[in-house]
Amino acid sequence: MDSPQGLKRWWRERPVRVQGRRDQGKLPSAGLAPVEVGDQRPGPPRGPAGEGRGGGRVGADRRSVDGAYDRVRAELGPVEILVTSAGIEAFTALLDITPETWDRIIAVNLTGTFTCVQAAVPDMVAAGWGRIVTIASSSAQSGAPNMAHYAASKGGVIALTKALAVELARRSITVNAIAPSLVDTPMARQAEADGDFPGVDVVGPMVPLGRAGTPGDIAAACSFLCSDGGSYITGQVVGVNGGMYI
């Protein structure tokens, strides 16, 4: 893909399914190809304190996923590229995490990823080609206080990514994870407003590159991993983190 026109043709031929929050940004190719978004809107926590910040169980309900995929296939064709970015977070001390909170974090972040991947892979197998990018977190690599449930869910995403990469490699399907650190999103700003961490503008200058990440940073990495340039990369965790975790 040496030219913009070549990139434009490539994306038009590859329907994309992006499962997740709108705050993760748009792939740089948006506008050049159809993109279907299963929305996970950030917002204040629901239910008991610390239950989790975000929307409902996006991706965890197989019937909802199958219905969404049916619409994508009817309008755009088979799903050959999948980015799973739905996620919720919560800041809760270990001894205050309830079984319900634990289950909800795992359901959205880990089970939702698995469900969306499992539903898309048959299209990729049939095509003999596919790209899957999951969104993990640097907290799964370094740990984070008051986020045992969140870090565990994202650690599961990393393990799932590696297992799928090994299983699907012979079918020319690559599977990689992106592990962001601090990214300036509405969910991060909500955590700041809730007093769960010092703030994007406070922590951003502490990042080795001197700023918080942007949704565009994450989208650019996704775009590369889904392109022909990323065809020999699979089973990897790409840290888009400004040097916060090395």
Rounded Cα distance, 24 and 186, in Å: 10
| Best CA proximity match to 28, nearest among 68, 1, 64, 66 | 1
The number of residues in the chain equals 246
Distance CA 152, CA 158 (A): 10
Contact 85, 215 (CB under 8 A): no
Listed in sequence order, the DSSP H helices in the chain are: 4-12, 62-76, 99-106, 112-127, 139-142, 148-168, 186-193, 200-203, 215-226
In degrees and rounded to multiples of 5, residue 89 shows phi and psi of -135, 160
With contact defined as beta carbons under 8 Å apart, do 55 and 39 qualify? yes
Q: Known catalytic residues?
A: 150
Strands 16-20 and 81-85: parallel
In angstroms, the first-to-last Cα distance of the chain is 30
Q: Which amino acid is at 73?
A: R
